[in-house]
Structure 1
Amino acid sequence: MNRDIQEFKSEFFKALAHPLRIRILEVLSEGDRNVNEIQAIIGSEGSAVSQQLAVLRNKNVVSGTKDGTSVVYSLRDPLIKDLLKVAKQIFDNHLVDAISMLENIRKE
């Protein structure tokens, strides 16, 4: 595999490697939002949301468009929404496996 692609993937997944950034992406997958809207939905401090948005912008995961005095954020690539869905499916699969393993242990 091309080293540039591997490097891109590594940096991309580093950008996703924070629970608040994942939550921000989930919110943005539902539609474009400004910092105040994201903060209200998540229930987190504005400074924390702004810091994580800066990381996502620097890694080109989200983009921001000036709208008056605020910036409206959006996903740079709509496939990120699909990636989040796949990650949820993987989580569900692991959960099903863990439940099955626990049921087998209880039977023993």
Structure 2
Amino acid sequence: MRSVPLYEAKAELFRLLGHPVRIRVLELLQERPMPVRDLLAAIEVEPTGLSQHLAVLRRSGMVTAQRDGSTVVYSLAGGDVAELLRAARQLLTQLLTGQHELLSELLQAETKTR
């Protein structure tokens, strides 16, 4: 078994996170552990689709599942997932702020040339 280069492992992580439903599940689970019914109520997705996404997240080790009677409750596997989501939010804020500033400059330049 050959080891995977770090950049390939990182790419696989981002592929795993590359679906909006998975990101939304992780965001919701930051707030508290949730049963599947609550996740379904919060995310517009078919139950089978949610089940598939939860299975991917569970296999990756990002979420854990515990059975409580007939209910399955999901939670984040650790604080690092929440930290990653916070970092993504900060990065997006910086990128969008930069784009907003660029748009303002473009609009000002447009006004001056008229």
Mapped to 2, the partners of 1:45 and 1:99 lie a distance apart of 36
1:75 aligns with 2:76: yes
Residue 49 of structure 2 aligns with which residue? 48
Compute the RMSD of aligned alpha carbons: 1.7
Q: What is the TM-score of this pair, normalised by structure 1?
A: 0.88
Q: Is the 8 A contact 1:11 1:59 kept in 2?
A: no
SS class of match (2:75): strand
Which residue number in structure 2 is paired with residue 31 of structure 1? 32
Give structure 1 stretches of 5+ with no counterpart.
Answer: none
1:40-79 per-residue CA deviation (whole Å, 9 max, x = no partner) reads 1223322221111011111111111111112111111112
Give the distance between the partners of 1:45 and 1:33, measured in 2 at CA. 17
2-side partners of 1:80 and 1:16: how far apart? 11
Amino acid at match of 1:84: L
Q: What pairs up with 1:68-107 in 2 under 5 angstroms?
A: 68-107=69-108
Deviation by residue 1:68-96 (Cα, 9 ceiling, x = unmatched): 11211111111211111110111011111
Larger Rg belongs to? 2
1:4–1:34 distance in 2 versus 1, CA, 3 Å: farther
AA aligned opposite 2:69: G
Structure 2 unaligned regions, length at least 5: 110-114
* Match of residue 65 from structure 1: 66
| 1:55 partner letter | V
Q: Which has the higher contact order (CA 8 A, sep 6+)?
A: 1
Paired residue total = 107
